[in-house]
Copies of this chain bind each other. A is one copy, B any other.
């Protein structure tokens, strides 16, 4: 088992990474009170709920099982968690446990931030995407019909437990979606890691345990470094949004029923690279490196058919990085070196999307 630490003063917490961690009695030390509410979804609960419950003997334990999917990441479904907590009379020392992917983690963390004005929570991410990205760093929230992750809180967990065995039950498409967020770290700030990922793409897609473990560790370390430098995204943390403004617009345009989040981010990263090239910041070889890496990880690189450029631009206007009416984008100065800027010609953005939409 590997232990990393997210060093945030009195809000510091460990990330445990390894095989079989769900059987290793790591939870109890991070639970303050007597009551625990495990929040999961219909897909993950049948696979891992029993393992988690067996670690919680002696506690008063409740369960809330949510429907599975990004379309359920809403304030209405969030109320199911509050209903379960209040019906079961869970008190202010309750610990919530998020058992599932990014949606379960984001919603459970937000419920923990708001229930009785804040209770403890623990992340047990069971998808690669959640293990390498969403479970670390304290971003929690739900979507609004007008925009993704618009309602939420920065709220840090007590610990993150990444049992790599849970990836065995993950569909190939979900695994690749997670790898999009992995390669993202390489593209924005870790060229060495990018090269390693390209060299080991087949191992990763083939689920080689050692390769996956290393990819998770290095991703979490990158994430932890950035979060420690800028917990509330006043600056450098925004770079972690590479591909996300494009990606969120695609997800919103598809009503969260098309590409998976990681897939949309992969397309978004390719668009960001292309736009950086169009503006003369990187050469075409760099753009191709990004695209080929995505392809090697079995990720889409093109905007899905049927989406319109003007709709995507409209959706992009609703983004947390908007400043004085202008969307700031994460673009590339090199593979391994990203920056955030609002200083680009509108024509570059509209030409890019017009060219890449296949409506």
Interface residues of A in 6-38 (CB under 8 A from B): 33-34
Interface residues of A toward B: which range?
35 or more
What's the minimum C-beta distance from A83 to chain B, rounded to whole angstroms? 8
B116, A324: Cβ atoms under 8 Å? no
Whether a CB of chain B sits under 8 angstroms from the CB of A285 is no
Chain A window 87-104, contacts with chain B (Cβ cutoff 8 Å), 1 for yes, 0 for no: 101011100000000000
Whether a CB of chain B sits under 8 angstroms from the CB of A151 is yes
B317, A152: Cβ atoms under 8 Å? no
CA separation between A117 and B318, bound complex, in Å?
14
Chain A window 206-235, contacts with chain B (Cβ cutoff 8 Å), 1 for yes, 0 for no: 000000000000000000000000001100
What's the minimum C-beta distance from A216 to chain B, rounded to whole angstroms? 25
What's the minimum C-beta distance from A86 to chain B, rounded to whole angstroms? 4
Per a CB cutoff under 8 Å, which of B89, B152, B321 touches A117?
Answer: B152
B153, A113: Cβ atoms under 8 Å? yes
B34, A151: Cβ atoms under 8 Å? no
Whether a CB of chain B sits under 8 angstroms from the CB of A115 is yes
Whether a CB of chain B sits under 8 angstroms from the CB of A75 is yes
Q: Which B residues lie within 8 Å of A93 (CB)? A: 323
CA separation between A139 and B114, bound complex, in Å?
11
Q: Which residue of B lies closest to A234 (CB)?
A: B92
B150, A116: Cβ atoms under 8 Å? yes
CA separation between A317 and B87, bound complex, in Å?
11
Per a CB cutoff under 8 Å, which of B75, B117, B152, B322 touches A91?
Answer: B322
CB contact under 8 A between A86 and B147, given known A92-B320, A153-B153, A323-B91 = yes
A154, B91: Cβ atoms under 8 Å? no
CA separation between A83 and B145, bound complex, in Å?
9
Whether a CB of chain B sits under 8 angstroms from the CB of A295 is no
Whether a CB of chain B sits under 8 angstroms from the CB of A141 is yes
Copies of this chain per assembly: 2
Whether a CB of chain B sits under 8 angstroms from the CB of A144 is yes
B150, A118: Cβ atoms under 8 Å? no
CA separation between A116 and B92, bound complex, in Å?
25
Whether a CB of chain B sits under 8 angstroms from the CB of A325 is yes
What's the minimum C-beta distance from A235 to chain B, rounded to whole angstroms? 13
Q: Which B residues lie within 8 Å of A86 (CB)? A: 144, 146-147, 150, 318
B117, A153: Cβ atoms under 8 Å? yes
Q: Which B residues lie within 8 Å of A153 (CB)? A: 113-114, 117-118, 153
Interface residues of A in 111-156 (CB under 8 A from B): 113-118, 139, 141, 144, 146-147, 149-154
Q: Which of A144, A149, A151, A152 has the most CB of B within 10 A?
A: A151
A118, B154: Cβ atoms under 8 Å? yes
Q: Which B residues lie within 8 Å of A147 (CB)? A: 86
A141, B154: Cβ atoms under 8 Å? no
Whether a CB of chain B sits under 8 angstroms from the CB of A82 is yes
Whether a CB of chain B sits under 8 angstroms from the CB of A79 is yes
Q: Which B residues lie within 8 Å of A232 (CB)? A: 117-118
What's the minimum C-beta distance from A93 to chain B, rounded to whole angstroms? 7
B154, A117: Cβ atoms under 8 Å? yes
CA separation between A343 and B141, bound complex, in Å?
38
Q: List residues of chain A with CB under 8 Å of any chain B CB.
A: 33-34, 75, 79, 82-83, 86-87, 89, 91-93, 113-118, 139, 141, 144, 146-147, 149-154, 232-233, 317-318, 320-325
